Chains A and B, each alone.
Chain A
């Protein structure tokens, strides 16, 4: 057993085929005296490796498949228990809302959009990073994206699911939501195609469909790898029996149930559609991938532009602004990258060998994108304010000065300044190399940005409408417990789906990782 390769041994141990308590990861080449893992070189002539530790193709397969083939780890089960309980709570809140009506939320005559639409824009914005990484960075030939694209795309799908809930349920009588679809009906009524709200329906549903297909298509070869490995274990007779995990003590082994590998062969077999890694297939696959990347790029920009039209085409001061589309898109990318980093940095610490595939260079690159988009968002905040003053529209200026910025006059000043601190001030830390190379600092900034981006949407939506043109129409918005628990529940749904993804699907784009390894080159001479 001593001759067996460390990565293969790790994969087998994670799968329960080999005894051993703590899997020992291979040592990454850390330059002595620094926290550099060998990827932080500033020499432009030297390309940082995307996969560390001198790995072979087989090692990478073992590492990535090991995560999906491992026995359900206890911490994962504990986390899933918590998040799925929160998700169930959120589902209960949605049912309560549907049964009782939107009155259970804190909405009033003046503030008729509040946390519901805030949450919608928050989640749909988070989704944008996945498409950005998989499409725009693909077109720009940024090889480092292969480390994060799969998980970021998964995150996109789950965020769009969370986003889709809120506009669906905020309509009040949910059973009439089909009125949004252009379906011939006996009333002869058709939806109003001149409304940005209807454009939004088309944009978000197209985005959800295309992202899902993109994600699935990228996964076909990797799922085929999982299928083949499970099949090989079955034919060699080394599959473990089904075991039911218990909170304490040993798992209960049930030999009567089908083995996990038998289920894998069936489910992954159907999911991989009979993929057999043919070069003729790869050729069409790569073309399809490139076209999808090409159309997803304008798509991702269009979706958040259209979301911003929901506000920008109205005549409410604070909403009626032409800067909204680019401002929303930059904010979406910003918030999405923060969420990717927020999820990936803890995983990098917990999962063995994860940090060899997601190197410090990857984190630094993403921190740079946070700095760029954060500064763009900061510029947009400034420009919005400048135009409110320079445009000489006193209502627009009042919406900013009296409703948002001035602590003496604006009741929501704290929300505005939280947004500024989290979104504009925190990312500026990344001007310093030490800061953007420190995973803990990046994680803290990512947390701040996620909070800040929620507040940004809250500030745009609620502070603009809580005071209309007449002082008699001024009302504050106070969230009810249903408001709060529905939002918390949507976070639970998101995390539950992400945890399931981590356990059952390939977390890294395996085939794409192999392409960026030096062994994939066809000529030995360079």
Chain B
């Protein structure tokens, strides 16, 4: 077994190594409480409700919507993702790989006379520099997006909520996690009710 001190030291750098913190709230059946959800039926309503939750100071919460709602980022007070920067880095990496690959093989490893052109002419390398740059950017876009989203993932506590499955159709759900420092069963329920949410329910985390 790995000594506990080592794990706690490593956890400074890799917080995911730590066991989940003790549940803040436990339901009557003894399961930890994941959070509280409320349903909305119309886009403007969920948009304004999101603004209310944001203004109430919550940080660990989310809006689940069947399609990306325009400008929900500002209604939720979300920070812009770093994905474009990561994609830019991938593009530069792709171009560098292409330069090294072509220049290394054509000028050094296997110099061959082709139409009397210089071995290290850069012009014919441009198309593949472009293609590899695009390829790595695309990989970073999709796999980086999934990684930042924590996907793929086999299960999530929200999937234990029967009504959550309507989100993929026409329902909007605001979910506030119990780990949010502002979370309080009574106050959060009151806030969601005030925001116009219906079918407010506690979600249990079955593990």
Question: Would you call A285 an interface residue if the criterion is a C-beta within 8 Å of the partner chain's C-beta atoms?
Answer: yes
Known: A192-B114, A206-B131. A279 touches B64 (CB 8 A): yes
What B residues does A519 contact at CB under 8 A?
A: 42-43
A180 on interface, CB distance cutoff 8 Å: no
Q: List 22 A-B contacts (CB under 8 A).
A: A190-B105, A192-B112, A193-B105, A209-B138, A213-B138, A229-B169, A273-B152, A273-B153, A274-B153, A274-B156, A278-B149, A279-B72, A279-B78, A282-B65, A287-B145, A291-B84, A295-B134, A296-B134, A512-B67, A514-B66, A515-B70, A524-B44
Which of the candidate stretches A217-225, A439-447, A464-472 sits at the interface with the other chain? A217-225
A286-325 CB mask vs B (1 if < 8 Å, else 0) is 1110011001101100100010010000000000000000
Q: Which residues of B contact A523 (CB under 8 A)?
A: 44, 47
Report the Cα distance A175→B81, complex, angstroms.
45
Q: Interface digits, B53-83 against A, CB 8 Å rule (1 contact, 0 not)?
A: 0000000001111111111110110100101
Q: Is B135 on the interface with A (CB-CB < 8 A)? A: yes
Interface residues of B (CB under 8 A from A): 42-44, 47, 50, 62-73, 75-76, 78, 81, 83-84, 87, 91, 101-102, 105-106, 109-110, 112, 114-115, 117, 121, 124-125, 127-128, 130-132, 134-135, 137-139, 141-142, 144-146, 148-149, 151-156, 158-159, 162, 164-170
Bound: A284/B168 CA distance, A: 18
Report A193-234 CB contacts with B as 1/0, cut-off 8 Å: 111101100110010011001101100010011011101100
* A279 contacts B83, C-beta separation under 8 Å: no
Q: Which A residues contact B (CB, under 8 angstroms)? A: 56-58, 61, 182, 188-196, 198-199, 202-203, 206, 209-210, 213-214, 216-217, 221, 224-225, 227-229, 231-232, 235, 273-288, 291-292, 295-296, 298-299, 302, 306, 309, 511-512, 514-515, 519-524
A182 to B50, CA, bound (A): 52
Taken together as a complex, chains A and B put the C-alpha atoms of A78 and B50 apart, in Å, by: 51
Of all chain A residues, the one with the shortest Cβ separation from B149 is A281
Chain A residues within an 8 Å CB radius of B154: 274
- Residues in A with CB closer than 8 Å to B50 are 279
Docked complex Cα distance between A291 and B69 (Å): 19
Residues in A whose Cβ lies below 8 Å from that of B152: 273-274
Q: Which residue of A lies closest to B162 (CB)?
A: A235
A515 to B70 alpha-carbon distance, docked (Å): 8
CB of A269 to closest CB in B, whole Å:
9
Main secondary structure of the interface of A (DSSP, over half): helix
Least CB distance, B64 to chain A, in whole angstroms: 5
Known interface pairs A273-B153, A291-B141; A209-B69 also in contact (CB < 8 Å): no
- For A57, the chain B residues whose CB sits under 8 A away are 66, 169-170
Complex Cα gap A309–B131 (Å): 15
Does B81 contact A287, Cβ atoms closer than 8 Å? yes
A452 to chain B, nearest CB (A): 29
Nearest opposing residue in chain A for B112, CB measure: A192
Contact indicator A275/B151 (Cβ below 8 Å): yes
Cβ-defined contact, B109 with A188, below 8 A = yes
Contact assessment for A274 and B68 in the assembled complex, using a CB-CB cutoff below 8 Å:
no
Known: A198-B128, A282-B68, A522-B75. 19 other contacts (CB 8 A): A57-B169, A58-B169, A58-B170, A61-B169, A192-B112, A199-B131, A203-B131, A217-B142, A225-B168, A277-B65, A278-B149, A282-B69, A284-B148, A285-B149, A287-B84, A292-B141, A520-B43, A521-B43, A522-B47
Across-interface contacts of B75 in A (CB, < 8 A) = 522
Whether the pair B134, A210 counts as a contact (CB closer than 8 A) is yes
What is the CB-to-nearest-CB distance from B104 to chain A, in angstroms, rounded to a whole number?
9
The answer to whether B134 touches A520 (Cβ under 8 A) is no
Using Cβ atoms and an 8 Å threshold, which residues of chain B touch A299? 131, 134
A167 to chain B, nearest CB (A): 16
Q: How long is the Cα–Cα vector from A512 to B83 in the complex, in angstroms? A: 21
Complex Cα gap A242–B44 (Å)? 42
Report which residue of B101, B138, B158, B164 has the largest number of chain A beta carbons within 10 angstroms of its beta carbon: B138
Contact of A276 with B131 at beta-carbon distance under 8 Å, contacts A188-B109, A194-B117, A287-B81 already known: no
* List of B residues within 8 angstroms of A521 by Cβ: 43-44, 70
With A190-B110, A274-B156, A523-B44 known as contacts, the answer to whether A285 contacts B128 (CB < 8 A) is no
CB distance from B136 to the nearest CB of A (A): 10
Q: Which of A206, A235, A273, A285 contacts B68 (CB 8 A)?
A: A285
Please indicate the chain A residues that have their CB under 8 angstroms from the CB of B158 in the complex.
276
Contact B69 A522 (CB under 8 A): yes
How distant is the Cα of A198 from the Cα of B146 in the complex, in angstroms?
32
The answer for the CA separation of A56 and B168 in the assembled complex, in Å, is 14
How distant is the Cα of A170 from the Cα of B31 in the complex, in angstroms?
Answer: 63
Q: How far is the CB of A511 from chain B (nearest CB, A)?
A: 4
Cβ contacts under 8 Å, B70 to chain A:
515, 520-522
